[in-house]
Each structure stands twice: as structure tokens, then as C-alpha cells.
Amino acid sequence: MNRPTKICALALALSLAPAAAIVDDARSFAIEAALPVLDAKPPEGKAPFVIRDAWWKGDAVVKKPKIFRHQLFKRNEYWFWAASDDTSATISIAIYDSTGKLVKPEKRFSKGYTAGVKVVPEVTGTYFIRVVVESASSDRAHWAVVYGYR
């Protein structure tokens, strides 16, 4: 086989190969839940919320909390949005300080398979994000959390 024929054969083989794209539905649903906040006009003198590239995901047994830590900074405002890819699930999210005390949310919502919480930390430090799949169509459910700040 000459060189042009080899290149054409390779191109044909690659075009017939299955695509290797992966979509995380739970993450997509969490981002959709964030859109009203991200699209809202910020108050006078405040920056808009910016969603971060960092995100968390997992598989959870229903009613068994998943807890992970994250650094938050005083004077910033944070929104955390959680979602499950099981649209019949219900999910909750809460933020705790380094001593395990629940951080009082400025705002929160829970709408079936999505939930969100807005916090303004009083001190810079390590905080704990707690996600619970409260109910689902099976005994396990996939979840994801995205966050934004300003």
C-alpha cells in the first residue's frame, strides 16, 4: 500500500470508530440548577457569580451522606448546586464549618433531583459540603456538585 492509500485507510478507520465522549447528566443538571443565579443581574456594586471548573461527583447509597472538604474564603459569597441523574430522586446539600457546625445559609432551595445553598463564610478555612440523596428510584444514585462564587 502506498502512503496516500494508508492515510485514506487510517482516516476511514478513525471515522468508523465510536465516539468517546462522556456526558455526566448529574453535573449537567447541577449546572442547569445554577443558571438562574448565574444569569441574574448582580446587585449594584457586586460582581456576578462565576461557576468554577472544579466539581465533585459520586455514587451514593440513599440516605447515606457524602461529605467532602473545600477551602472557602471570608468575604466571598458561594453557591453550591447538587443534582442527581435520577430525575425521580430528591437530594439535599448543606455546608459545615471546620468544627462541624452547620453554616447558616443565606439562601437555599430543594427541587426534587436538584438542590442549592448559598453561604457567606465568616472566616477563611476548611468547610465541609454534605450531600445526601434522600430518595431515588433504586438504592443508589449518581450525584454531582458544582459551585460558584463572587
Is pLDDT of 4 > 80?
Answer: no
This prediction has a pTM of 0.83
Question: Which of these, 43, 112, 52, 40, lies nearest to 80 by C-alpha position?
Answer: 52
Question: Which of these, 147, 130, 132, 123, lies nearest to 49 by C-alpha position?
Answer: 147
Is pLDDT of 9 > 70?
Answer: no
The predicted pLDDT at position 138 comes to 94
Average pLDDT of 31-45?
93
**CA-to-CA distance for 81 and 79, rounded, in angstroms?**
7
Is pLDDT of 53 > 80?
Answer: yes
Is pLDDT of 10 > 60?
Answer: no
Q: What is the mean pLDDT of the chain?
A: 90
Structural domains in the chain? 24-149 (2.60.120.380)
Is pLDDT of 14 > 60?
Answer: no
Longest alpha-carbon distance in the chain: 71
- Higher per-residue pLDDT: 139 or 16: 139
**CA-to-CA distance for 133 and 114, rounded, in angstroms?**
10
